[in-house]
């Protein structure tokens, strides 16, 4: 990988794969960027929360041009396959080249190209003495993936540039000029455990093999949600096989579509074979329903040690009904752009811990009123079931400005460099641009980058040829501005 072109970009990316940087573990990666800026002899600043800003003076003759900010986030989504032994807080990413040199991917985990490759490009530009550019800043933000905390806590007045180039879009040739806002929902069912029925046996039901993916970029692909599929099974087991629920767990991140889910249930011993037959039927059903979309689904029930306690029946039933009702997937497309998702919800996680079952959702929309409408639906589903519902982490969408000087220059430059038209788009994923824009009114922004497939999942990969193309494009844009 380190021998790929541009070598500086790939060397930087390799260094990033060697540093554990899951969201929330910010010190080591932030120190890396601070040391990088200082090693270049450039002005390097760090704010109270950990964001890093590196300033590079304009090349001669460009001093009077408006300043440009290259922006990327430091953290990555820590997702791995169930059979992969890996510690995201200690282990380096095992990146490798596949498909005859077309892609870089990772062995059983997320790659971190989102947004490590964007950060690597910004780093290479800072070091490149041949790039012609206006006054330049590179902003590396913390913890984008878990709530955009770096952008949320960014101070007004810290940045000096007029134009911001966000390097966190994932389709080369796209210029993103708007994105969805979002908000997190946490619904908690509290209960006093009850004793397990004497003579019952316990089974762990596990649903695996789904592709999952990014809850913004991939939400329209109709992939299965492991929690929703498991709840269908549980509802049937409770209704027809005298099952009782002891625990349920699924998903791992608010912004990733759940790939795996499991539950421990108890049943009368004489229902064992009937329940196994039901599990087999559902596995066959899901493989048919998701043929061509999620072909690797597995659903298994394994006998385990019987727990001493379980969830009270009334809480169990309310939980299952609420999870059944909770919307997941696309809620509405943009009427003027029917190929773009306007509003969606990701039923992201469910966790059972010490007398509580907690459910987590991430709702996205480019229209604030539609986001509030879907929030209300989710709230009703859980509140009627007796859960405590809390909303947190709301962030604004990024409203497009189709007539900005920056957009005009970037469209013209792309056509000049590559002989084809760039695609100006609005995306459903969340970007930091909306938050940064709220702190810096009038700043013009565009998001773009090389092609990354299946971010937020162990299938994540970056297309090698588009990295060089993106670097060339950044060089051309800086010269044009």
Tens digit of pLDDT for each residue in 345-354?
999 999 999 8
How far is Cα 350 from Cα 391, in angstroms, rounded to an integer?
16
Shortest CA distance to 234 belongs to which of 344, 75, 352, 374? 352
395, 419, 449 — which closes off a domain?
Answer: 395
Residue 92: phi, psi to the nearest 5? -75, 150
In a domain, 2, yes or no: no
Shortest CA distance to 443 belongs to which of 405, 478, 394? 405
The terminus-to-terminus CA distance of the chain in angstroms comes to: 32
Specify whether the backbone of 125 is left (phi greater than 0), alpha (psi in -120 to 50) or beta. Answer: alpha
How far is Cα 187 from Cα 171, in angstroms, rounded to an integer?
34
Provide the pLDDT confidence category of residue 1 given band limits of 50, 70 and 90. Answer: very high
Question: In the prediction, which pLDDT does 448 show?
Answer: 98
Provide the pLDDT confidence category of residue 94 given band limits of 50, 70 and 90. Answer: very high
Q: What is the pLDDT of residues 359-368, one digit of tens each?
A: 999 999 988 8
Same domain, 377 and 387: yes
Shortest CA distance to 204 belongs to which of 263, 260, 247, 259? 263
* Measured CA distances, 164 to 167, 168, 177, 351, 424 (Å): 9, 12, 11, 39, 16
Q: What is the pLDDT of residues 66-91, one digit of tens each?
A: 999 999 999 999 999 888 999 999 99
In DSSP notation, 178-224 reads: EE-EEEEEEEEEE---EEPPTTEEEEEEEEE----EETTTTGGG---
Question: In the prediction, which pLDDT does 381 show?
Answer: 97
Question: In the prediction, which pLDDT does 243 show?
Answer: 97
Q: Is 144 a catalytic residue?
A: yes
How far is Cα 144 from Cα 431, in angstroms, rounded to an integer?
8
For the cut 90, the answer to whether the pLDDT of residue 160 exceeds it is yes
Q: What is the pLDDT of residues 165-218, one digit of tens each?
A: 999 999 999 999 998 999 999 999 999 999 999 999 999 999 999 999 989 989
* Measured CA distances, 26 to 30, 89, 95, 150, 206 (Å): 6, 10, 21, 10, 33
Same domain, 379 and 416: no
- Average pLDDT along the chain: 96
In a domain, 1, yes or no: no
Question: In the prediction, which pLDDT does 359 show?
Answer: 98
Same domain, 388 and 405: no
Domain with 24 in it: what CATH number? 3.40.630.10
SS3 252: coil
For the cut 90, the answer to whether the pLDDT of residue 426 exceeds it is no
Same domain, 366 and 405: no
Residue 306: phi, psi to the nearest 5? -75, 125
Question: In the prediction, which pLDDT does 253 show?
Answer: 87
DSSP state of 25: -
In a domain, 475, yes or no: yes
How far is Cα 112 from Cα 120, in angstroms, rounded to an integer?
11
Shortest CA distance to 443 belongs to which of 148, 145, 156? 156
Q: Is 339 a catalytic residue?
A: no
Distance from the Cα of residue 66 to its chain's centroid: 32
Give me the catalytic one of 75, 115, 170, 342. 75
Mean per-residue pLDDT for 390-400? 88
Question: Regarding beta strands 163-166 and 68-73, do their DSSP bridges make them parallel or antiparallel, or are they unpaired?
Answer: parallel
Same domain, 121 and 189: no
Mean per-residue pLDDT for 107-121? 97
Shortest CA distance to 200 belongs to which of 261, 122, 264, 136? 264
Give me the catalytic one of 11, 143, 144, 171. 144
User: 129-132: long-range contacts at Cβ-Cβ below 8 A with a sequence spacing of 24 or more?
Assistant: 131/59, 131/475, 131/478, 131/479, 132/59, 132/62, 132/475, 132/478, 132/479
Same domain, 242 and 362: yes
Residue 414, judged by CB atoms within 10 A of its CB (0-12, 13-18, 19+), counts as buried
Same domain, 124 and 213: no
Question: Tokens standing for 235?
Answer: 């509802």
Domain with 260 in it: what CATH number? 3.30.70.360
Question: Tokens standing for 216?
Answer: 């913004």
Q: What is the pLDDT of residues 15-54, one digit of tens each?
A: 999 999 999 999 999 999 999 999 999 999 999 999 999 9
Same domain, 104 and 212: no
Q: What is the pLDDT of residues 235-293, one digit of tens each?
A: 999 999 999 999 999 998 898 999 999 999 999 999 999 999 999 999 999 999 999 99
Question: In the prediction, which pLDDT does 396 show?
Answer: 84
Same domain, 352 and 302: yes
For the cut 90, the answer to whether the pLDDT of residue 395 exceeds it is no
Q: What is the pLDDT of residues 307-354, one digit of tens each?
A: 999 999 999 999 999 999 999 999 999 888 888 899 999 999 999 998
pTM of the complete model: 0.78
How many domains does the chain contain in total? Answer: 2
Mean per-residue pLDDT for 436-460? 94
Containing domain of residue 63, as a range? 7-179+397-480
Question: What percentage of the chain exceeds 90 in pLDDT?
Answer: 89
Angle in degrees, CA 408, 411, 417, rounded to 5: 135
Question: In the prediction, which pLDDT does 197 show?
Answer: 94
In a domain, 58, yes or no: yes
Same domain, 151 and 291: no
For the cut 90, the answer to whether the pLDDT of residue 429 exceeds it is no
Same domain, 219 and 334: yes
């Amino acid at each position: 990988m380190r021998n790929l072109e541009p070598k500086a970009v790939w060397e930087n990316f390799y260094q990033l794969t060697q540093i554990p940087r899951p969201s929330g573990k910010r010190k080591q990666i932030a120190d890396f960027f601070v040391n990088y800026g200082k090693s270049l002899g450039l002005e390097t600043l760090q704010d109270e929360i950990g964001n890093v800003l590196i300033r590079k003076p304009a090349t001669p003759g460009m001093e009077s041009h408006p300043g440009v900010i290259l922006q990327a986030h430091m953290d990555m989504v820590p997702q791995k396959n169930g059979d992969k032994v890996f510690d995201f807080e200690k282990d380096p990413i095992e990146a490798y080249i596949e498909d005859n040199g077309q892609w870089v991917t990772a062995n059983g985990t997320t790659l971190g190209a989102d947004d490590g490759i964007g950060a690597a490009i910004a780093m290479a530009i800072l070091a490149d003495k041949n790039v012609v550019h206006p006054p330049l800043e590179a902003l590396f933000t913390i913890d984008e993936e878990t709530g955009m905390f770096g952008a949320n806590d960014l101070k007004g007045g810290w940045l000096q540039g007029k134009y911001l180039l966000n390097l966190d879009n994932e389709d080369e040739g796209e210029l993103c000029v708007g994105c969805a806002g979002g908000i997190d929902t946490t619904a908690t069912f509290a209960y006093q455990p009850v004793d397990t029925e004497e003579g019952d046996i316990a089974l762990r039901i596990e649903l695996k093999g789904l592709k999952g993916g990014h809850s913004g970029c991939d939400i329209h692909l109709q992939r299965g949600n492991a929690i929703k599929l498991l709840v269908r099974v549980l509802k049937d087991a409770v209704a027809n096989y005298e099952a009782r629920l002891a625990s349920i767990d699924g998903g791992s991140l608010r912004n990733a579509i759940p790939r795996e889910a499991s539950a421990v249930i108890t049943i009368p011993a004489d229902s064992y074979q009937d329940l196994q037959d039901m599990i087999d039927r559902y596995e066959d059903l899901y493989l048919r329903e998701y043929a061509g979309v999620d072909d690797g689904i597995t659903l298994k029930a394994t006998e385990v040690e019987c727990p001493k306690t379980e969830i009270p029946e009334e809480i169990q039933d309310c939980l299952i009904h609420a999870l059944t009702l909770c919307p997941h997937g696309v809620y509405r497309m943009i009427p003027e752009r029917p190929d773009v998702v306007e509003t969606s919800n990701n039923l992201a996680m469910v966790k059972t811990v010490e007398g509580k079952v907690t459910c987590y959702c991430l709702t996205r929309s480019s229209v604030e009123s539609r986001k509030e409408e879907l929030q209300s639906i989710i709230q009703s589903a859980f509140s009627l079931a007796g859960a405590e519902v809390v909303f947190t982490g709301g962030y604004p969408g990024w409203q497009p400005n189709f007539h900005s000087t920056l957009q005009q220059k970037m469209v013209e430059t792309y056509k000049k460099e590559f002989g084809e038209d760039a695609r100006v788009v609005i995306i459903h994923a969340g970007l930091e641009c909306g938050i940064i824009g709220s702190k810096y009114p009038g700043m013009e922004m565009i998001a773009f980058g090389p092609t990354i497939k299946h971010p937020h999942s162990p299938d994540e990969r970056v297309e090698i040829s588009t990295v060089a193309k993106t670097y060339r494009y950044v060089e051309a844009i800086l010269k044009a501005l």
